[in-house]
């Protein structure tokens, strides 16, 4: 089960009884009753009053002409669950406002915008209406045991104490009193709601803020106790050249537990998913070693390391899943951090990601015109292609078959028909990984080998019969994938029709 947030420091001293409450205005309560039969009944005029202001600050802004307002120095809040001491923590980015945080939590990733409402909403707080003057029975408004007691001190020393009581019957306001004024007011709910919030509500649950411009993730490593080998995804620098990217558009490749191209839609969320990661709740603030051990993060079940080209590295620690009221969740923290978060199973995707989930099922991915030599041995026959570029494309052209000469077994061959045959080959779609499977001892059904001049490497792919419906794909001597056996059979059939006018088949069972 989720645990209550840890690390809240309560106020040790009693709150001072503060003066400075403004004298109540002699205002008339709305009359009760009335003639309901009248078609011209008018709503009673609401009696609005500024409840909290710094009367030591006077004058107007010479630029705007607006009345000058005081600046709140501190706010002390005591509610049913927590006590907060709000203090100034510098200026806003524009330099025109104050940033507020909780005293003692300047080193914690807090929601300073929400904390700021505890000061900013109080400054110049205006009532919605006057409910009762000279009130002697404050209990009926929940003000004998207030939901929140708020002590405000301005930089000039002006002080107020505000009591926040129950919601009004309509639910859009709360009853409020100012210490020293025996009048009960209503204040809009949105202005005073945060005074009843818990500490957890003020903690920023964004684990890692998303930057305006994402750095390049050079390497992402997922180490998990249920995996013998790490899942490693690396930035593939040559892929920056879009024209030569081939059958995959991802800028990253898998290098462990095996080499594989990636499916960009699935891999991107895994690679950059730490940025903007937002927790469901907080387990511990200013966490101790015992907190870390209790959350299962001293020896984490999963460690995700993200290495970026801006020089920043991040190491995310994840516990095993546990069941809670929301389903499955886990504890999470950054190595060296001071907060432990709770993530649901959807956000903690690194705990469930398998290599096949992010890998492209395409294993022949070279760009057709990067290949200089291609051979296929199948059905007792050999088909050897040589491909040579003979001209450059024009300014608005792309490389195409007209820019190449192709030979098949030493004889001139139609370059466009070669391109069509290759377009069939790259449709090979693996069904799943077959890592570390034993390679059959017999002859393969087919062997495909090609030289990619752009990557400067030779690739050898062998297809072995595995069952009535499956074939094993072996890449450069290592078992990699299972594939439909009918693809291999269709490849052999298409090869036999290379020198005919028969259209190639592009579908198989």
Does residue 353 share a domain with residue 227? Answer: yes
Q: Is residue 506 part of a domain?
A: no
| CA 473 – CA 9 distance, rounded (Å) | 61
The count of structural domains within the chain is 3
User: Is 297 within 8 Å of 340 (Cβ atoms)?
Assistant: yes
Q: Angle at the Cα of 14 (from 72 to 102), degrees rounded to 5? A: 45
CATH number at residue 478: 3.30.1490
Check whether residue 173 and residue 240 sit in a common domain.
no
Query: Domain ends where: 295, 329, 358?
Result: 358
Query: What does the pLDDT look like over 83-102, one tens digit per residue?
Result: 999 999 999 888 778 999 99
Residues 121-135 have a mean pLDDT of: 95
- From 358, 385, 400, the end of a domain falls on 358
From the list 476, 425, 431, the residue with the least C-alpha distance to 247 is 425
What integer is the mean pLDDT of 464-482? 94
Same domain (yes/no): 143, 175: yes
160, β-bridge pairs: 152
What confidence tier does 5 reach under pLDDT thresholds 50, 70, 90?
low
- The pLDDT value recorded for residue 19 is 40
More confident residue, 393 or 248: 393
Structure tokens at 202: 């003020």
Considering the domain boundaries, does residue 379 fall inside one? yes
Q: Is the pLDDT at 242 greater than 70, yes or no?
A: no
Kindly state whether residue 37 falls inside one of the protein's structural domains: no
Distance from chain centroid for Cα 103: 29
Q: Is the per-residue pLDDT at 12 higher than 60?
A: no
pLDDT score, position 11: 35
What the block records as the tokens of 372 is: 């200089």
More confident residue, 436 or 453: 453
Task: Write phi, then psi, for 383 (nearest 5 degrees).
Answer: -130, 110
412 inside domain: yes
Shared domain check, 434 and 346 = no
Is 505 inside a domain boundary?
no
Note whether 223 and 347 are same-domain residues. Answer: yes
Question: Residue 142 has what pLDDT?
Answer: 97
Across 466-484, b (16+ Cβ under 10 Å) vs e yields: beeebbbbbbeeebbbbbb
Same domain? 291 vs 392: no
**Would 35 be classed as within a structural domain?**
no
Extract the runs of DSSP E, i.e. beta strands, from 309-370: 313-318, 322-324, 327-334, 339-344
CB 162 within 8 A of CB 86: no
pLDDT of res. 149? 98
**pLDDT tens, 172-186?**
999 999 999 999 999
Reported confidence tier of residue 422, pLDDT bands at 50, 70, 90: very high
Whether residue 59 is contained in a domain is answered as yes
pLDDT in tens, 259-299: 888 988 889 999 999 999 999 999 999 999 999 999 999 99
Bond from prior residue into 43 cis (ω within 30 degrees of 0): no
pLDDT of residue 363: 87
Q: Is the pLDDT of residue 75 over 60?
A: yes
Provide the pLDDT for residue 68.
Answer: 83
At 300-316, the pLDDT tens digits run 999 999 999 999 999 99
53 with 136, same domain: the answer is yes
What is the chain's alpha carbon radius of gyration, rounded to the nearest angstrom? 35
Structural domain that includes position 314: 217-358
Task: Specify whether 157 is located in the same domain as 223.
Answer: no
Residue 449 has pLDDT above 90, yes or no: yes
Mean pLDDT of the chain: 88
166/142 Cα distance (integer angstroms): 5
Pair of tokens at residue 427: 């449709």
Distances (CA, A) of 6 to 166, 202, 339: 28, 13, 9
Q: Is residue 338 part of a domain?
A: yes
Last residue of a domain, one of 182, 204, 226: 204
**Claim to verify: residue 474 and residue 395 sit in the same structural domain:** yes
Confidence of residue 249 (pLDDT cuts 50, 70, 90): low
Higher pLDDT: 125 or 24? It is: 125
User: Rounded to whole angstroms, how far apart are CA atoms 126 and 405?
Assistant: 83
* Distance (Å, whole) CA 497 – CA 502: 6
Predicted pLDDT of residue 13: 33
Going by their DSSP bridges, the two strands 302-308 and 217-224 should be labelled as antiparallel
pLDDT digits (tens, 9 = 90+) for 204-231: 999 999 999 999 999 999 999 999 999 9
- C-beta of residue 251 within 8 angstroms of C-beta of residue 240: yes
d(CA 342, CA 320): 11
Q: What is the pLDDT of residue 17?
A: 35
> What is this structure's pTM?
0.75
- Asked if 142 and 255 sit in the same domain, the reply is no
Pair (237, 316) in one structural domain: yes
- 390 and 340 fall within a common domain: no
Residue in the structure block whose two tokens are 């009960």: 184
């Amino acid at each position: 089960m989720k645990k209550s947030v840890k690390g809240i420091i309560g106020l040790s001293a009693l709150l001072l009884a503060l003066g400075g409450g403004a004298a109540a205005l002699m205002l008339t309560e709305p009359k009760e009753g009335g003639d309901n039969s009248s078609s011209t009944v008018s709503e009673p005029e609401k009696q609005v009053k500024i409840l909290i202001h710094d009367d030591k600050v006077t004058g107007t802004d010479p630029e705007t002409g607006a009345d000058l307002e005081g600046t709140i120095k501190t706010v002390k809040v005591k509610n049913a669950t927590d006590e907060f001491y709000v203090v100034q923590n510098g200026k806003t980015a524009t330099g025109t406002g104050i940033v507020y945080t909780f005293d003692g939590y300047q080193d914690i990733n807090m929601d300073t915008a929400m904390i700021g409402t505890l000061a900013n909403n109080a400054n110049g707080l205006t009532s919605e209406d006057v409910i009762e003057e000279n009130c002697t029975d404050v209990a009926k408004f929940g003000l004998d045991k207030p939901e929140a007691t708020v002590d405000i001190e301005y930089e000039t020393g002006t002080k107020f104490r505000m009591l926040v009581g129950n919601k009004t019957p309509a639910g859009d306001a709360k009853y409020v009193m100012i210490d020293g004024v025996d009048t009960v007011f209503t204040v809009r709910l949105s202005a005073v709601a945060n005074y009843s919030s818990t500490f957890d509500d003020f903690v920023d649950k964004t684990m890692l803020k998303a930057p305006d411009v994402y750095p390049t993730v050079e390497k992402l490593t997922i180490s998990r106790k249920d995996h013998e080998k790490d899942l490693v995804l690396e930035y593939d620098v040559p892929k920056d050249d879009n024209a030569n990217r081939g059958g995959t558009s991802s800028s990253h490749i898998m290098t462990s537990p095996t080499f594989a191209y990636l499916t960009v839609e699935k891999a991107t969320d895994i690679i950059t998913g730490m940025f903007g990661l937002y927790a469901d709740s907080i387990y511990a603030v200013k966490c101790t070693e015992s907190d870390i051990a209790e959350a299962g993060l001293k020896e984490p079940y999963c460690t995700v390391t993200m290495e970026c080209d801006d020089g920043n590295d991040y190491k995310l620690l994840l516990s095993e899943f546990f069941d809670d009221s929301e389903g499955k969740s886990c504890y999470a923290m950054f190595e060296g951090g001071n907060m432990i978060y709770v993530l649901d199973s959807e956000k903690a995707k690194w705990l469930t990601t398998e290599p096949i989930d992010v890998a492209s099922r395409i294993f022949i991915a070279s760009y057709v015109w990067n290949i200089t030599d291609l051979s296929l041995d199948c059905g007792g026959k050999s088909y050897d292609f040589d491909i040579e570029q003979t001209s450059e494309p024009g300014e608005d052209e792309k490389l195409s078959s007209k820019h190449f000469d192709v030979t098949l077994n030493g004889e001139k061959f139609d370059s466009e028909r070669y391109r069509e045959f290759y377009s069939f080959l790259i449709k090979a779609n693996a069904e799943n990984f077959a890592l570390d499977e034993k390679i059959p001892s017999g002859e393969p059904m087919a062997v495909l080998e090609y030289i990619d001049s752009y990557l400067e490497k030779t690739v050898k792919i062998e297809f072995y019969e595995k069952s009535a419906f499956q074939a094993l794909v072996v890449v450069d001597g290592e078992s990699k994938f299972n594939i439909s056996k009918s693809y291999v059979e269709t490849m052999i059939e298409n090869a036999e029709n290379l020198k005919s006018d028969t259209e190639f088949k592009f579908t198989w069972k």
